[in-house]
Chain A
Amino acid sequence: MEYINLFVKSIFVDNMIFAYFLGMCSYLAVSKNVKTANGLGIAVIAMLIITLPLNYLLNKFVLTPGALSWLGDSFANVDLSFLSFILFIAVIAAFTQVVEMVVEKFMPALYSSLGIYLPLIAVNCAILGGSLFMQQRDFGNIGEAAVYALGSGIGWWLAIVALAAIREKLSYSNVPAGLKGIGITFITVGLMGIAFMAFMGISL
């Protein structure tokens, strides 16, 4: 039950895009059509599911104060938490490389349509943000971390596909000249964010 609650919450209430603005750069740039948006969304879900539990283990057994005590008593007081940024980003960058190679080999069409944004997943704030929020929230076990990763990944995917669908329709409408393109997209995302706030306070 707790897991379902966390899952629903991380999709709707703590949505990566609408509540925390994470992964906005690629969100705004790759949302011009639904197909590419779908591909990037799935790549982000995959990255989150792989890297977040890994970083959870890293955080629990290497980084937090006293985490190294499994190495022996002399390590009990070591506090490596200042290294967390660099280790998290290293894990993420390494796995981005792996995902990139897999996508290039098995899904060449998706590879060419994602272009520069595939390597940029390494610097997608949603991925690193997921790990940092995981660290901040102190999850009890790895299951919670994995459920949180899946939920926030699906939330991101949902948000980018919805925006891409709206933008496809939007290109037929008559927008003031100065707002065309990115301006109206910002306002659309803002309005979608207000709509998503209706989910606030949900708990199962």
Chain B
Amino acid sequence: MNAKMKETILNPILKGNPITVLVLGICSSLAVTVELKGALVMALSVIVVTGMSSLICSLLRKTIPNRVRIIIQLVVVAMMVILVDQVLKSFEGTYPLDKQLSVYIGLIITNCIVMGRIEAFALGNKPIPSLLDGLANGVGYGLILIIVAFFRELFGSGTLFGLPVLSALGYTNNGLMILPPMALILIGCIIWVQRSIQKDLQENY
């Protein structure tokens, strides 16, 4: 059981990473990686939403009729996202968030990771492993988000979390890194690195 739990936790972070291997949840993630702060908020929100909605759907798995399960899952996920959104709004005075980010928080509802994990795991497993699976997938997603945001903020604006790092050394900002397409290219490179190390993930065509 313990080995299985470890597998449940570690698999989504490395071998079955939702972004680089399963290619889920790219939608709402890339636009928030311009700076580390936004990426961190987004990652934490997604971890909470995937974990909690997997747990709830797993608790409900025996009572949900198969035909209407998508709608019920959407309601559970939407409820969790509304909670997260309201919590973030209550901190707006002290920690103001980008207006753009608030749209992407709403888009967690349609983040394929959440629905994908509920469909693939939570509906067939006990609550505790489902919770762990949800949290681990959120972490795997957040990890990629933070790696991308780290490079984009460091080379794009020369700062980390808004504090000057490279710009203090007289670095000229590379405006290309701030532009949206660079996030895609960076993820492409992360995939390249990962698949060069884990050769069994390579595709043939």
Residues of A within 8 A of B (CB): 18-25, 28-29, 82-86, 89-90, 93, 119-120, 122-129, 132-133, 136, 171, 176-187, 189-194, 197
Q: Are A93 and B74 in contact (CB under 8 A)?
A: yes
Beyond A86-B79, A181-B203, whether A128 also contacts B185 by CB under 8 A is: no
Contacts of A178 in B (CB 8 A): 191-196, 202
Q: Are B205 and A194 in contact (CB under 8 A)?
A: no
Q: In the complex, A192→B193 CA distance in Å? A: 22
Beyond A86-B82, A133-B103, A186-B191, whether A122 also contacts B70 by CB under 8 A is: yes
Q: Pick the contact of B27 from A125, A182, A193 — CB < 8 Å?
A: A125
Q: In the complex, A19→B192 CA distance in Å? A: 24
Q: When A and B form their complex, which 9 residue pairs have the shortest distance between CB atoms, in order from nearest?
A: A181-B203, A193-B181, A186-B188, A125-B27, A190-B184, A24-B26, A190-B185, A178-B195, A187-B188
* Pairs across A and B, CB under 8 Å, 20 listed: A22-B27, A22-B107, A24-B26, A24-B30, A25-B24, A83-B82, A85-B82, A85-B106, A123-B110, A125-B111, A132-B107, A177-B199, A186-B184, A186-B187, A189-B181, A190-B184, A190-B185, A191-B181, A193-B181, A197-B181
Q: In the complex, A114→B110 CA distance in Å? A: 19
Q: In the complex, A187→B182 CA distance in Å? A: 9
Beyond A128-B107, A190-B181, whether A182 also contacts B191 by CB under 8 A is: yes
Given A120-B112, A123-B112, A177-B202; 11 other pairs, CB 8 A cutoff? A21-B27, A21-B180, A23-B27, A24-B30, A123-B109, A125-B110, A178-B194, A179-B188, A180-B205, A181-B203, A185-B188
Q: In the complex, A202→B192 CA distance in Å? A: 35
A-B contact count (CB 8 A): 150
SS of B interface (majority) = helix
Shortest CB–CB separation between residue B65 and chain A, in angstroms?
A: 15
Shortest CB–CB separation between residue B113 and chain A, in angstroms?
A: 9
Q: Are A18 and B205 in contact (CB under 8 A)?
A: no
**Size bracket, chain B contacts:** 35 or more
Which residue on B lies nearest to A176, using beta carbons?
A: B192
Contact with A along B90-112 (1 / 0, CB 8 A): 00000000010001001101111
Q: In the complex, A49→B2 CA distance in Å? A: 50
Q: Are A136 and B23 in contact (CB under 8 A)?
A: no
Contacts of A183 in B (CB 8 A): 188, 191-192, 195
Q: Are A129 and B107 in contact (CB under 8 A)?
A: yes
Contacts of B122 in A (CB 8 A): none
Residues of B within 8 A of A (CB): 23-31, 70-71, 74-75, 78-79, 81-82, 85-86, 99, 103, 106-107, 109-112, 115, 179-185, 187-189, 191-196, 199, 202-205
Q: Are B23 and A29 in contact (CB under 8 A)?
A: yes
Q: In the complex, A120→B188 CA distance in Å? A: 24
